[in-house]
């Protein structure tokens, strides 16, 4: 039945392409007479997207044709700069579709997204396999670059790499083979994501809670049999005997990536991905993760010992069967009991101080205190869902920095997790205007219930600050070119600034500005603040182990070549990887293969280690703040100017050493997590 519906939708859309191509009939193609150019979401129809994409592609193809056929000698402005200013309509349309399809999609819109993905993959291939275009770029890249600004040099380097990494050097049949691989990859990755969304919705149907509330439910559910049932359902997503099974799709994606890497001259997909990252190669990543997981597992074993003592009391009281040992489904529940014992900290006591709206205002107040920026609501702004809120972000001098949207609560039309994305990028347009970004933070925080407002956990608070760190990176950027503005940096650098922003969440001065009791308005007491901060390194054995384990799994999957992937059993392979890393049976990787969306459809393949890698930079940078005074304006201004404004306009380590005056201390993260002294 689903396939029939999808077929009808696509046939309907195809016919609409023929009759609704005119700009006056398509709101996506018109000028948006809205505050600050916010998309007028209520005017868009599902049938508008594909015709608008086709118009955008046609426009950009003409722009590229003009670049390629320009009789003047190639230079930065008439080739690289001209390309940077191309595709305005296409970027505008995809800024809307790419975000709404992730957050508020029905079946019809998901069908459109699948079709659009295939069309755009082909369009991208046509651009970056265009040999005449490449020859112009190469001639500029090979020439003296000393007259270019550093930002222009980085834009040029990125574009040259994009051509070479997209197979422009391949001939005939090999280039056609790569195009076919890219099409299949795009479709298969989208199918993986759609299957996972269906599995997440099934989990909610079964247990009455969204996947995003899983850890909270596991913490508070006394019924051990129910916890086991929830754990098994959660950890088997995408691996059940139903139409949403992702195992074959995962293998297909891995095989296609390995084949693509080989075509492009790389040993495996990890080598291809890491070639343009800070880490550079898999050996460096392996050594980095080995250094982390050993002390993490050691600490996790201590945590199990503490939890087992609490479980033994429950056994004596007849609450748990005799001979019971801590299992994966016991971790959240008994970790919370240990935390209550060790720190006298109960999340049921902290939640009343973390009303979602107040936490959101807290991230704004923290940004004002640290960077001097101001955030104010925009009333009656267009939104794609009634739960979305819109804000204007201004600098200390009143100048516009950008528009910020929040979308914090789960729904069946939204994929799981939390993220930041752009509806519009920052860049300088052809008339010299600074186009400011429109950015969204999306989450799946604990929603309001019939009896309580949206009160969130300590972890949710950190997540909110984390995603706003990404937003700050996008909002504060001051680049000329779209390809390096904002968060357009390497994957193992981009998480530095989101994780850095977490450091402000529980500073006493910041908490006093936003953590007030939802009933009484009382500011969170100092005694509770102290308990929160004392407990920050609690359970870090578990947290670090599951994160490092997922990072190792990601890397081990992507160092496999085509031959090694033939006939492989991914479930068995995953178990072997976990055994080889010494993973204890009480912990599973944060994401198992069949629901590892980060690496199968979110750009983190052979890159999930980046969270830990970036945390080294983040913790080392914050240590510098602590040494100089965490509200030291000159240090904050330096951090903003060196990192948040620069985007990808300089090499990451050059920026870091400029700010810190030295390379980062690799132990900074382990110390911050309490894993070493």
Q: Where residue 22 falls among pLDDT bands split at 50, 70, 90?
A: low
465/470 Cα distance (integer angstroms): 9
Tokens representing 228? 């086991």
Contact 41, 100 (CB under 8 A): yes
pLDDT of 3 higher than 50: no
Catalytically annotated residues: 467
CA-based nearest residue to 351, from 214, 419, 452, 221: 452
* pLDDT for the residue numbered 8: 43
> Stretch 211-223: mean pLDDT, rounded?
94
pLDDT reading at 5 higher than 70: no
Confidence category of residue 212, pLDDT binned at 50, 70, 90: confident
Q: What is the DSSP letter of 581?
A: T
Kindly list the distances between the CA atom of residue 344 and the CA atoms of 219, 299, 338, 525, 537, in Å, as whole numbers in the listed order: 16, 21, 9, 14, 15
- Residue 335 scores a pLDDT above 60: yes
- Tell the burial category of 91 from Cβ atoms under 10 Å away from its Cβ (0-12, 13-18, 19+): middle
Torsions phi, psi for 441 (to 5 deg): -110, 125
Rounded to an integer, what distance in angstroms lies between the CA atom of residue 472 and that of residue 363?
10
The pLDDT mean for the chain works out to: 94
- Of 464, 530, 488, 499, the closest CA to residue 610 belongs to 499
Using DSSP's 3-state secondary structure scheme, residue 455 falls into strand
How many Cβ atoms sit within 10 Å of the Cβ of residue 417? 16
Beta strand residue intervals within 412-565, DSSP E: 419-424, 427-428, 434-435, 438-442
What token pair was written down for 31? 């000028």
* Whole-angstrom distance, CA of residue 395 vs CA of residue 422: 19
Residue 128's pLDDT is 96
The pLDDT-based confidence of 548 (bands split at 50, 70, 90) is very high
Q: Is the pLDDT of residue 2 over 60?
A: no
At 74, the pLDDT band (50, 70, 90 cuts) reads very high
d(CA 384, CA 404): 14
Task: Reply yes or no on whether the pLDDT at 452 is more than 80.
Answer: yes
- Mean pLDDT of all residues in 181-189: 95
Query: For residue 438, which phi and psi values (nearest 5 degrees)?
Result: -115, 120
Q: Please write the tens of the pLDDT for every residue from 113-146.
A: 999 999 999 999 999 999 999 999 999 999 999 9
- pLDDT by residue (tens digit) across 100-116? 999 999 999 999 999 99
Name 403's bridge partners.
392, 438
Identify the burial level of 37 via C-beta atoms within 10 angstroms of its C-beta, where 0-12 means exposed, 13-18 middle and 19 or more buried: middle
CA dist list (Å): 562 to 357, 369, 565, 614: 49, 52, 5, 30
The predicted pLDDT at position 661 comes to 94
| pLDDT exceeds cutoff 90 at 12 | no
SS3 assignment, position 419: strand
Sequence-separated (6 or more) residues with CB below 8 Å from residue 172:
none
* pLDDT of residue 574 exceeding 60: yes
Strands 438-442 and 400-407: parallel
Residue 23 reports pLDDT greater than 90: no
Is residue 526 pLDDT above 80, yes or no? yes
Say if residue 288's pLDDT is above 50: yes
Name all domains of the chain by residue range, CATH numbers in brackets. 2-128+130-165 (1.10.1370.40), 210-322+537-677 (1.10.1370.10), 351-487+500-516 (1.10.1370.40)
Band the pLDDT of 416: cuts 50, 70, 90. Answer: confident
The rounded percent of the chain whose pLDDT value lies above 70 is: 97
pLDDT tens figures, 352-389: 999 999 999 999 999 999 999 999 999 999 999 999 99
Please name the helix (run of DSSP H) or strand (run of DSSP E) that holds residue 453, with its range, or none.
none
Query: Average of pLDDT values for 298-320?
Result: 97
| pLDDT tens figures, 625-656 | 999 999 999 999 999 999 999 999 999 999 99
Strands (E), 274-398: 374-377, 389-394
Asked if 444 and 426 touch (Cβ cutoff 8 Å), the reply is no
DSSP annotation of 664 reads P
Spatial contact of 611 and 351, defined as CB atoms under 8 Å apart: no
C-beta separation of 475 from 393 below 8 A: yes
Average pLDDT over every residue of 256-277: 97
The reported pTM is: 0.90
Mean pLDDT over residues 558-585, rounded?
Answer: 97
- Percent over 90 (pLDDT), the chain: 93
């Amino acid at each position: 039945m689903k396939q029939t519906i999808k077929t009808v939708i696509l046939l309907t859309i195809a016919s609409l392409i023929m009759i609704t191509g005119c700009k006056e009939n398509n709101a996506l193609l018109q000028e948006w007479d809205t505050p600050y150019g916010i998309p007028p979401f209520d005017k868009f129809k599902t049938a508008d997207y594909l015709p608008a994409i086709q118009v955008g592609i046609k426009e950009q193809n003409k722009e590229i044709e003009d670049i390629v056929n320009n009789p003047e000698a190639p230079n930065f402005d008439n080739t690289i700069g001209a390309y940077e200013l191309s595709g305005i309509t296409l970027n505008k349309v995809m800024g809307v579709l790419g975000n709404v399809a992730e957050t508020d999609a029905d079946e019809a819109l998901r069908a459109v997204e699948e079709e659009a993905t295939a069309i755009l993959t082909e369009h991208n291939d046509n651009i970056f396999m265009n040999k005449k275009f490449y020859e112009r770029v190469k001639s500029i890249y090979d020439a003296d670059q000393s007259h270019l600004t550093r930002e222009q040099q980085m834009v040029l380097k990125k574009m040259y790499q994009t051509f070479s990494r997209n197979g422009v050097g391949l001939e005939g049949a090999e280039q056609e083979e790569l195009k076919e691989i890219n099409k299949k990859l795009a479709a298969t990755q989208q199918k993986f994501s759609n299957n996972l969304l269906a599995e997440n919705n099934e989990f909610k149907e079964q247990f009455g809670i969204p996947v995003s509330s899983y850890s909270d439910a596991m913490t508070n559910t006394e019924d051990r049999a129910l916890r086991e049932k929830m754990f098994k359902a959660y950890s088997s997503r995408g691996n059940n005997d139903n139409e949403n099974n992702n195992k074959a799709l995962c293998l297909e994606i891995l095989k296609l990536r390995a084949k693509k890497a080989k075509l492009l001259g790389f040993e495996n997909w990890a080598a291809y991905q890491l070639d343009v990252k800070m880490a550079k190669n898999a050996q460096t990543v392996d050594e980095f993760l080995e250094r982390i997981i050993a002390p993490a597992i050691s600490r996790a074993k201590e945590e199990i010992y503490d939890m087992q003592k609490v479980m033994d009391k429950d056994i004596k009281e007849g609450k748990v069967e005799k001979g019971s040992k801590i299992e994966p489904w016991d971790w959240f529940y008994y970790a919370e009991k240990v935390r209550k014992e060790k720190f006298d900290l109960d999340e049921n006591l902290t939640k009343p101080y973390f009303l979602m709206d107040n936490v959101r205002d807290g991230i704004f107040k923290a940004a004002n205190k640290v960077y001097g920026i101001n955030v104010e609501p925009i009333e009656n702004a267009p939104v794609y869902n009634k739960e979305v809120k819109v804000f204007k972000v201004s600098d200390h001098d009143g100048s516009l920095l950008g528009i910020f949207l929040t979308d914090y609560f789960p729904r069946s039309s939204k994929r799981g997790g939390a993220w930041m994305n752009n509806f519009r990028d920052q860049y300088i347009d052809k008339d010299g205007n600074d186009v400011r970004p429109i950015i969204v933070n999306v989450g799946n925080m604990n929603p309001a219930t019939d009896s309580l407002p949206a009160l969130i956990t300590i972890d949710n608070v950190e997540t909110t600050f984390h995603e706003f760190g990404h937003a700050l990176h996008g909002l504060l950027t001051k680049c000329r070119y779209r390809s390096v503005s904002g968060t357009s940096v390497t994957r193992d650098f981009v998480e530095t600034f989101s994780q850095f922003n977490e450091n402000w969440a529980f500073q006493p001065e910041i908490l006093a500005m936003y953590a007030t009791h939802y009933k009484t308005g009382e500011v969170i007491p100092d005694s509770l603040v102290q308990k929160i901060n004392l407990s920050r390194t609690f359970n870090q054995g578990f947290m670090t182990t599951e994160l490092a384990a997922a990072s190792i799994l990601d890397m081990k999957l992507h160092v496999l070549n085509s031959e090694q992937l033939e006939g492989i059993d991914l479930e068995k392979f995953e178990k072997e990887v976990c055994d080889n890393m010494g993973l204890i049976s009480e912990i599973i990787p944060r994401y198992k293969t069949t629901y590892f969306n980060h690496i199968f459809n979110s750009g983190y393949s052979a890159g999930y280690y980046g969270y830990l890698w970036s945390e080294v930079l983040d913790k080392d940078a914050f240590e510098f703040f602590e040494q100089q005074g965490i509200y030291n304006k000159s240090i904050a201004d330096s951090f903003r100017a060196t990192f948040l404004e620069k985007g990808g306009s300089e090499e990451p380590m050059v920026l870091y050493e400029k700010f810190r005056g030295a390379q980062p201390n690799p132990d900074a993260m382990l110390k911050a997590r309490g894993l070493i002294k």
